[in-house]
Amino acid sequence: RSFPILTSRMAVKLRTAITLLCVTTIGLVVLRLASLDCSGYLQLWDQSFFACASDGNDNVLFVRRLNRSIEPFLSAKTKLSEETFNWWKIEQRNFTFYKATVSKLFEIFPPVIDLGKACSARCRTCAVVGNSVNLKGSSYGRLIDYQDIVIRMNFAPVKGYEKDVGTKTTYRVMYPESAMDLDNSTHLVLFPFKIQDLDWLIKAFTTGFSGRSYAPLKSKIKANKDLVKVINPAFMKYSHKVWLEGKGTYPSTGFMTLILALHVCDEVHVFGYGADSDGNWSHYFEVLTNKNLKTGPHPGNHEYNILQQLANEKTVQLYKGM
């Protein structure tokens, strides 16, 4: 069987066609990568880690302790038991006063919680970003920003640390003593440890708060009132009694935020948790001066052991940093 002989002109045309085909293919790949939703980078990073739903038989700790009937957020319909109220309160104010305060709360803030839609059609991915010094030099910023939801805590700064901690913030978890102003697109998530914290939230958005606490309090706060969420005291009790088995005086904000993520996310990626190499619980944005810094009333080592077990069982992915 004979084949036609390529002339130099035909060869040039063939090379041109092949080049155009390659350029087109590469262009389509680039466009595909550029059009990936906010979880796309994660899917390329480690596509096999999650099955999205974490309720499998291998996730022993998760299956035994997760209780989806516990509402993470307060709403106008939440029925808090007086028993749970008595566990939660640290003030002399009674249950009737609590209910009246919650009623005022939902005159200002959304009475029904809307978590919104995940960017991914398949899973809602979350980055839970703690404040540990092990984030320094980690270069995790890009990976953090590619999650659907990025949850940050207290007044931890972003500016100046973008390479390691990212730039995106979806939820900012705080309590009054750790409050900061937010932009109009960030959800304020309040962890209330007492009725005064609920009162602070109401007045910080209205008349201004004038009460006192163990640390200075912002009288007013800048944030989008339509994006405010308040953690249910029953969820705080559940985090302590079920997940921590009652160890410590109460859970840390970081630990309760981790449990919150297990309830609202399909895939949980955890950054910035744990002590430094010397066992100090220092922050990425501070210079450590107290070499004996520990976790106060929080059972820090026990909390971290639970996180490590969740990571070992592939319920969460833990990024340990530097």
Residue numbers annotated as active site: 250, 298
Q: Please say whether the dihedral angle defined by the alpha carbons of residues 52, 56, 60 and 62, taken in this order, is positive or negative.
A: positive
Largest CA distance in the chain: 100
Q: Which amino acid is at 27?
A: G
Interatomic CA distance for residues 119 and 147, integer angstroms: 9
Nearest to 140 by CA among 124, 173, 162: 162
The encoded tokens of residue 110 equal 């959304």
Helix, strand or coil, per DSSP, at residue 304: helix
The phi and psi torsions of 165 (rounded to 5 degrees) equal: -115, -5
Q: Which H or E element spans position 270?
A: strand 267-271
